[in-house]
Amino acid sequence: MKICVAQAKAVKGDIRSNIENHKKIIDLAIAHGADTIIFPELSITGYEPTLAKDLAICMDDECLNDFQHISDEKTVTIGIGAPLKGDTGITISMVLFQPGKDREVYAKKYLHADEDPYFVSGQSTVSLLGEESDVALAICYELSVPAHVEDAYKSGAAVYIASAVKSTGGIDKAIARLSEIGEQYEMTVLLANAVGESDGFECAGKSGIWDNTGVLVNQLDATSEGILVFDTKTRSVIAATI
């Protein structure tokens, strides 16, 4: 399995433009052999909580159809971040497109207090990904919640992927925590972080991969859009920027 974490810059609230940018990054990832591609938190709208009510979409929205077409044609799994409409409110979610399958969703269960006015805790339709069902997902703040990684570990996760929007002021703490998770739980840990501006702050980039001893294997810079591709068999990593 070759897992890609994408480092992307969102245009505030411009879903169509962001989808087109996703497609460019997906092409780059596929060219480097990726079969699973995970984008940052709320990647198709940008992380804009105050605009969530206006930007929220349904999981089956036609604007996302291109991702399913790519998934089917290229035999690749794609996870994109979106605010989704639900019965109880709007969730911070990752819509998952898998070859020949209906869309699934990983929804953020643990919200930061700042998100409570705009979002509700979500329910996922998928738990672990991959051929071995050993790839766990997390969305941003969840990596800081001990119960979240503990549940992933107890479920048999060997890989932990955090889809995030970490700021320049918060990235160091997140990196330390991701390294700690790798070492404590002997899991390979990946971070897909955003670059550019979101919600009035600067996103820090530095998407990275930590091995199952907590050692940083590779990392992107703080400003470039790009990808990291991790081969679960050979343990090798490819980095590329746009």
Question: Is residue 168 a contact partner of residue 144, using CB atoms and an 8 Å limit?
Answer: no
**Which band of pLDDT confidence, cut at 50, 70 and 90, is reported for residue 60?**
very high
Which pLDDT band, with edges at 50, 70 and 90, does 66 fall under? Answer: very high
- Report the alpha-carbon distance of residue 180 to residue 212 in Å, rounded: 10
Mean of the per-residue pLDDT values for the chain? 97
Q: How many CB atoms lie within 10 A of CB 124?
A: 16
Cβ neighbours, 10 Å, residue 12:
16
> Amino acid identity of 52?
A
- Per-residue confidence at 131, pLDDT binned at 50, 70, 90? confident
Number of C-alpha atoms within 13 angstroms, CB side, residue 111? 17
Look at residue 226 in the predicted model and tell me its pLDDT: 98
Report the Cα–Cα distance between both ends of the chain, in Å, rounded. Answer: 23
Where residue 42 falls (left for φ over 0; alpha for ψ -120 to 50; beta otherwise) is left
**Nearest-angstrom CA–CA distance, 71 and 75:** 5
User: Contact at 8 Å (CB) between 158 and 128?
Assistant: no
Query: Given pLDDT bands bounded at 50, 70 and 90, which one contains residue 8?
Result: very high
Domains of the chain: which residue ranges? Answer: 2-241
| Cα gap 104→79, rounded to integer Å | 9
Average pLDDT of the segment spanning 219-223 = 98
Model confidence over 154-182: pLDDT tens digits?
999 999 999 999 999 999 999 999 999 99
CATH topology for 2-241 is Nitrilase/N-carbamoyl-D-aminoacid amidohydrolase (3.60.110)
> Rounded distance, CA 44 to CA 240, Å?
21
pLDDT, residue 160, reads 98
Query: pLDDT tens digits, residue range 193-218?
Result: 999 999 999 999 999 999 999 999 99
Mean pLDDT throughout 54-65? 97
